[in-house]
Amino acid sequence: MLDIKRIVSRIIAEKIDELTEDEIASMLEYPPNPDMGDIALPCFKLSRILRKSPVDIANDLSSNITEDEHIDRVEAVSGYLNFFLDKGIFIEKIVTKVTTEQERYVSSDIGKGKNIVIDYSSPNIAKPFHFGHLRSTSIGNALYNIFEFLGYNSIGINHLGDWGTQFGKLIVAYKKWGDKERIEKNGISELMDIYVKYHKEAETDPSLDDEARAWFTEMEKGNEEALELWHWFKDISLQEFARIYNILDMKFDSYAGESFYNDKMGPIVEELNEKGLLIESEGAHIVDLEKFDMPPCLILKKDGSTLYATRDIAAAKYRKETYDFEKCIYLTGADQSLHFKQFFKVIDLMGYDWADRLIHAPFGLVSVEGEKLASRAGKVILLEDVLKEAIDKTLKIIEEKNPNLENKEEIAEQMGVGAVLFSDLSSNRIKDISFSWNEMLNFDGETGPYVQYTHARACSVISRTDDDIDYTFDASHLKTSEEYNLVKRISFFPSRITEAKDALEPSIITRYLVDLAQDFNRFYHNHSILNVEDENIKKGRILLTKATKITLEIGLKLIGLKAPNRV
């Protein structure tokens, strides 16, 4: 791809011995107004280094810049060095590269030979897959795609919550109020009902908690009845989860949940003890982290049972030994940040030099009209209900606007699911999300369906052209601001993918796609593409439409959305 920052930084570096090309590239900015150039160097940042005023630096550089085919002119304005590109060369190189190389124009092999483990989604067994699980699921899936696209070997792990005291509670609830036929018929919703009832009853009858702990102890001891019920609850849950993942079109490389590490925690405890890290505290066993300004990391309870930290340490070690990861990324809520800092530090203290490759990528709080989702209280919005509602609404819109559309049910699913995913991925990862039916299912404005519709519009234009079009063209005929701005936007795509990877932030791509769709629609509405007498202009605009279509399709795929050809 034509890297304008690299070209400009090279030109400037030839005149400044004190800085490298990379250092100069980091200083370059994209001006907010095209009248101020396509890319600019704020010379204020050079004053201390060159011991001159920004105005003098800009003036000196502008009068000594080496000519380059990509640069039309250079201007010094109030301490800024503004570069204006040769629009014809720029448009021709970008559009030709995109349309001839297609997906290859932006793919990369920078991750070749490197494994990236991503721990995401991870719902709890026997609890509904609610809207709160969407953030981890959608962000994790997008990151999986982004790393894979850049040449890494992505490994998606669904670390299911399939062990713990909650199963003791569920066994008690089932024995007291459960009905096998109703559970077989209604699945997780029935399990959820008796789980909620348990917590309501436990508020006035604390002995229920004693029973629950006892049943979980039986599970850990291998009690046949307890484990049989646990397996049954798990099978019911996995069937329902599979249905939702199928709607989302998502797959995982591993479903190794918490129970998978039951036989791997003993060796971890022994290792901590051998390395002098495990100390007793009020009957429990901890790793003291006071010198690191953190509370102690609890490894064993007073009764000798393990905890989340023990399990996560075992899981991290297993993953390193199994996958030899370059990075292991955990997608969970920000409220778990301390937990990850603690067990990451414990792994560091154990002497493992890969501890710094464990990364927690937290996301903001998910709430319903300001109230946190809570399974115990039964306050959840089922993700499947949201997806079905979105699909139904999309189908109604299609039937109103294009009732004869082929495969309209399939397209309605693509766009309905796309609306939900895109809405979730539009916000910065760390931003809190408050669920609202109206906002989630609003298809107007900066939404997934808007971007998908723009892709379909570009496909419609292309379908009415000659498939054997020659990809060589004279870009000097494309002179409008809408054409040039659209090409500039397309040229940003490779850097946006890299930024999203580096920041673990899929919303960078989501926002980019909205901007690209808006630029294309301005071009589409202001200029005829096919009904143009000048063949050079017509050919250039068709190829520009193809370049947009290719970029939109890649971007949608990266964040987990389909790119329908017709809507």
| pLDDT tens digits for range 361-409 | 999 987 766 666 555 455 678 899 889 999 999 999 999 988 889 999 9
Strand partners, 40: 29, 82
pLDDT cut 70: percent of the chain above it: 96
| Domain residue extents for the chain | 4-85, 115-372, 400-558
* Total number of residues shown for the chain: 567
DSSP 123-139: PBTTS--BGGGHHHHHH
pLDDT confidence band for 195 (50 / 70 / 90): very high
Model pLDDT, residue 375: 52
Model pLDDT, residue 97: 93
Contact 331, 361 (CB under 8 A): yes
Question: Distance between CA atoms of 429 and 555, rounded to whole angstroms?
Answer: 18
Contact 271, 350 (CB under 8 A): yes
Task: Give the CA distances from residue 258 to residues 159, 161, 261, 264, 311, in Å, rounded to whole numbers and listed in that order.
Answer: 7, 6, 6, 11, 7
Model pLDDT, residue 563: 97
Task: Give the CA distances from residue 79 to residues 10, 61, 138, 158, in Å, rounded to whole numbers and listed in that order.
Answer: 20, 11, 44, 53
Question: How confident is the model over 141-161, as a mean pLDDT?
Answer: 97
Condensed to tens digits (0 to 9), the pLDDT of residues 255-286 reads 999 999 999 999 999 999 999 999 999 999 99
Whether 304 shows a pLDDT value over 90: the answer reads: no
- Indicate the SS3 state at residue 48: helix
Contact 163, 258 (CB under 8 A): yes
Closest by alpha carbon to 353, among 379, 381, 317? Answer: 317
Task: Give per-residue burial for 335-364: e unless 16+ CB within 10 Å, then b.
Answer: eeeebbbbbbbbbebbebebbebbbbbbbb
Max avg pLDDT among 122-126, 235-239, 476-480, 555-559: 555-559
Condensed to tens digits (0 to 9), the pLDDT of residues 497-510 reads 999 999 999 999 99
Model pLDDT, residue 325: 98
Q: Which residue has the higher pLDDT, 78 or 377?
A: 78
Question: How confident is the model over 537-550, as a mean pLDDT?
Answer: 95
Whether 306 shows a pLDDT value over 90: the answer reads: no
pLDDT confidence band for 201 (50 / 70 / 90): very high
Model pLDDT, residue 128: 84
CATH tag for 4-85 (out of 3.40.50.300, 3.30.1360.70, 2.40.110.10, 3.20.20.190): 3.30.1360.70
With both helix axes pointing from N to C terminus, report the angle between 408-425 and 507-526 in degrees, rounded to the nearest 10: 120
Please determine, looking at this structure, whether the domain spanning 115-372 carries the CATH number 3.30.70.1140.
no
- Mean pLDDT lowest for which of 22-31, 344-353, 429-438, 450-459? 429-438
Whether 9 shows a pLDDT value over 90: the answer reads: yes
Task: Give the CA distances from residue 25 to residues 12, 19, 127, 220, in Å, rounded to whole numbers and listed in that order.
Answer: 9, 10, 50, 58
Model pLDDT, residue 205: 95
Model pLDDT, residue 34: 84
Question: Distance between CA atoms of 216 and 80, rounded to whole angstroms?
Answer: 68
Residue 168: partners with Cβ closer than 8 Å, 6 or more residues away: 211, 212, 213, 214, 215, 216, 217, 219
With both helix axes pointing from N to C terminus, report the angle between 481-491 and 535-558 in degrees, rounded to the nearest 10: 30
Whether 511 shows a pLDDT value over 90: the answer reads: yes
- Mean pLDDT lowest for which of 78-82, 274-278, 357-361, 440-444? 440-444
CATH tag for 400-558 (out of 1.10.730.10, 3.40.50.1000, 3.40.1360.10, 3.30.450.20): 1.10.730.10
